[in-house]
Structure 1
Amino acid sequence: MSKKFAGCMPLALALATCAAHAESGVRVSGYLDVSMERIDTGRGMLTRQSSGQLNQSRLNFQGVEDLGGGNAAVFDLQMPFSPDTGAGSSNGLFSRTATLGLTSKALGTLKVGRMQSLSDETIASFWALRWGASTNYFLYYGNTTQLLSNAIRYETPDMRGLVLSVEYAVDEHNGSGRAVEGQARYQYDKWKVNGAYYVSHGHEFVEPGSSVHIGTFGTSYDFGFATPSLMVQDTRTHDAVVNRTSKISVALSATVPVGRNALWLDYGILHNRVLANANARAASVRFDYNLSKRTFLYAGLAQVWNDAKAYYQPMGASGSYPVFTSATGVSTGFDPVYNGGDVRSLIAGIRMAF
């Protein structure tokens, strides 16, 4: 359960003061997500306890200061950790999100810091950045676009369901490295559309002149008895040496209410346009059983069929692969040891929001 610490602590100071600053405060929230997974890696069996398969386990601190006139100062700090080990992230204390900004009902929102990419936010808006979603399995290898440091983002106000965003980031380790993204999202009643385009130069690779282009599109409609969705992601990379990729993934999924619970179904394909015999297919089914409004149990089965030079795996929201492979999958496939192996994952876990 989220908890607010308002700036109006002494009630005797006057209820009028509290009313004038009702939007000000700090909210503490987060997720705990732990699961057991049995995996057929295609080369052997693996059993592991892991964290963050549906939601990355984290502690959030989000604050608002009302500046009056529909304006406010905002911050968002998100600290990831692993309940299975108790360890925090090796990338830093608030490595998931650390932003400070200003928001206005009339002018929109401007924020700076470390934040999620617009491409990944597009995927997450359709609940596809988690275990059971083939789009998540087929993401650009390495998840390098998930979080951007030294970033600045502007988001327009809601214009009758349409919101536009732009994000820019520089690489502090490579002065010439930069990334820019644009996003448009629209919602009308039960229909939702979201698209983003990401371009970077020298931001992911060490070699100067490298580039990454990622286009992401999703749409869904809530029919009541089911919410089907379509996700498409096109990825093109190139570096100054010889490596390049060009691939597209398409995923169809549906969330089906079963009483107060939910059934998730997903099927996706990936086509590699550069490397022969490097395509993949994936299918998943997952059932979420609600214990309360904030806590549910989940269980599922996922299968990935890899071609001879591919090795994609079921992956959760925290980005943890069951098997770490030695190659990057850019021009030679993934790893000669695992290439071509079909991967199966059986999972059971519990997720709690607070």
Structure 2
Amino acid sequence: MKKTLITLAVLAAATGVAQAQSSVVIYGTVDAGFVSERGGKAGTVNKIDSGIASASRIGFKGTEDLGSGLSALFVLESGFKVDSGSQEGDALFGRQAYVGLSSKTAGTVTLGRQYTPWYNTLSKVADPFAAGYSGSAKNLFPAATTRTSNTVLYTSPNFGGFDADVAYSAGNNGQESLVSSKIGRQMGASAGYTNGPLNARVAYNATSNEATAQGSARNWLVAANYDFTVVKAYAAYGVNKGANSSLRNNGNVDFYNTASRGGFSDDSTTALIGATVPVGPAGTVMASVIHVNDKSGINADANQFALGYSYALSKRTSTYASYAKISNKNNAGYTVGNNSNVGSGDQAFNVGVRHSF
């Protein structure tokens, strides 16, 4: 009850600010649908799920012009579950919470909880499903952190189509004084080029394994998409080295209901090819194929085939349907999830509605 009252108070206060200042905007997404999962130890699982195509959220963002090309900005974003009405996670603004300064000539610096450069490259450049639906690239690409807390992020201005960003995230996990301040520390960067129909980017992320004296988990990702008008083509290739570099997004659950599991690789690659095809004035077909090549000796490879369709009922509302199937080798244990949930089996179908405001 206390958490609910605090949430309502924050929303009410933010709404008052939004009415008083045009620089503050309230935005959000409400996404829910029917999901059918098969092929896991629980058998067939049918449910109403939240955040299938895009995570359900409500957010507040604002800017203030400070003069001379300088401005202040902030974002506060909270996730929730449409199927139950509950808050997503324990943190009130667990999705994003940052403040910063932006210069038209020098770039932008923000501090707080933010998306990593690696994840932005995966979701915005590499994946035709934009990390959502049953075809989400998150099903097979490693679980490099989506967001990091205690982060300082620098984003450069755009120079003739080129831009870059660099992020540093302190561990701050409560163990610094007992073990090492490097525990959980992350460093990431990306650089990209956009010119007309071409969008290309390379990203890197490193996570410290200081607690286990295993060095760092290192993830590289190269991605590009090109819009041919009649079809938009996507391609991506990732290299993952070091302990915990290839963690599954499902947490390596006991997928097969057996003591034998695929295990965690410390040397793998992940490749994707895909496309989106406009159909009529409001429809879009999405498709992708993803392959995981485990080079660690476990040989826990996997392939995912995915197909989806989205239809825009308006600028803010769309309906969708998608299906994906994963073929796991040697008990690899990857599962078909969506934008918000990891799934329970090796195949899933979903159909739903998404509204943005």
TM-score (norm 1): 0.83
Matches within 5 A, 1:136-285: 136-140=138-142, 143=143, 145-173=145-173, 174=175, 175-177=181-183, 178-202=185-209, 206-238=211-243, 245-259=266-280, 260-285=282-307
Q: 1:105 & 1:45 partners in 2: Cα distance?
A: 53
Question: Contact 2:293 / 2:299 at 8 angstroms: preserved in 1?
Answer: no
CA shift for structure 1 position 102: 0.1
Match of 1:297 in 2: 319
Measured after TM superposition, the shift of residue 91 of structure 1 is 3.3
Higher strand residue share:
1
- Give the structure 2 partner of residue 35 of structure 1: 33
Alignment of 1:307-346 (within 5 A): 307-318=329-340, 320-323=341-344, 343-346=346-349
Q: Is the 8 A contact 2:134 2:348 kept in 1?
A: no
Amino acid at match of 1:343: D
Identity of paired residues, percent?
Answer: 26
C-alpha distance in 2 between matches for 1:6 and 1:185: 37
Distance 2:74 2:40 in 1: 44
Structure 1 residue 7, shift from structure 2 partner = 5.2
Q: Write the deviation string for residues 69-114 of structure 1: whole angstroms up to 9, x where unpaired.
A: 1110000111011111111122301111101000000110001001
Structure that is richer in helix per residue: 2
- Alignment of 1:352 onto 2:346: no
In structure 1, the gaps of 5 or more residues are: 9-23, 324-341
- Amino acid of the structure 1 residue aligned with 2:190: Q
**How big is the shift at 1:133?**
3.5
Distance 2:79 2:266 in 1: 31
Give the counterpart letter for 2:312 in structure 1: N
Give the superposition deviation at 1:244: 5.2
- Following superposition, the deviation at residue 346 of structure 1 comes to 1.3
Shift of 1:132: 4.0
One-letter amino acid of the counterpart of residue 106, structure 2: L
2:10: which partner in 1?
none
Alignment partners' CA distance in 2, 1:123 and 1:238: 21
Q: Distance in 2 between matches of 1:186 and 1:352?
A: 31
Which secondary structure does the structure 2 equivalent of 1:125 belong to? helix
Superposition deviation, residue 209 in structure 1:
4.1
Q: Residue 18 of structure 2 aligns with which residue?
A: 5
**1:114 counterpart SS class:** strand
* Residue pair 1:254, 1:266 contacting (<8 A) in 2 also: yes
**1:160-190 alpha-carbon deviations (Å, 9 max, x no partner):** 1111110000111142222111110110011
Q: Secondary structure at the match of 2:145?
A: coil
Shift in Å, 1:238: 2.0
Distance in 2, matches of 1:189 and 1:133, equals 27
Looking at structure 1, the residues matched to 264 and 347 of structure 2 have their Cα atoms a distance apart, in angstroms, of 29
What SS does structure 2 have at the residue aligned with 1:303? strand
Q: Corresponding residue for 1:91?
A: 90
Given that 2:135 and 2:322 are in contact with CA atoms closer than 8 Å, whether structure 1 keeps it comes out as: no
For the 8 Å contact 2:198–2:224, the answer to whether it is kept is yes
- Secondary structure at 1:86's aligned position in 2? coil
Give the count of matched residue pairs.
312
What's the offset of the Cα at 1:202?
Answer: 3.0
Cα offsets for 1:3-56 (capped at 9, x unmatched)? 993656xxxxxxxxxxxxxxx610111111101111112442111211112111
Q: What aligned pairs does 1:107-126 form with structure 2 within 5 A after superposition? A: 107-126=106-125
* TM-score (norm: length of structure 2): 0.83
Shift of residue 243 of structure 1? 6.9
Distance 1:233 1:166, change over 3 A: same
Name the CA distance, whole Å, in 1 between partners of 2:136 and 2:233. Answer: 14
Alpha-carbon displacement from aligned partner over 1:177-227 (angstroms, at most 9, x marks no partner): 221111101100110001110112137xx5244421011111011111110
In 2, Cα distance between the equivalents of 1:275 and 1:26? 53
Aligned counterpart, 1:21: none
1:58 aligns with 2:28: no
Q: Which amino acid aligns with 1:60?
A: G
- Contact preservation (8 Å) 1:134, 1:267: no
Structure 1 SS opposite 2:138: helix
Q: Give the RMSD, CA atoms, in angstroms.
A: 2.0
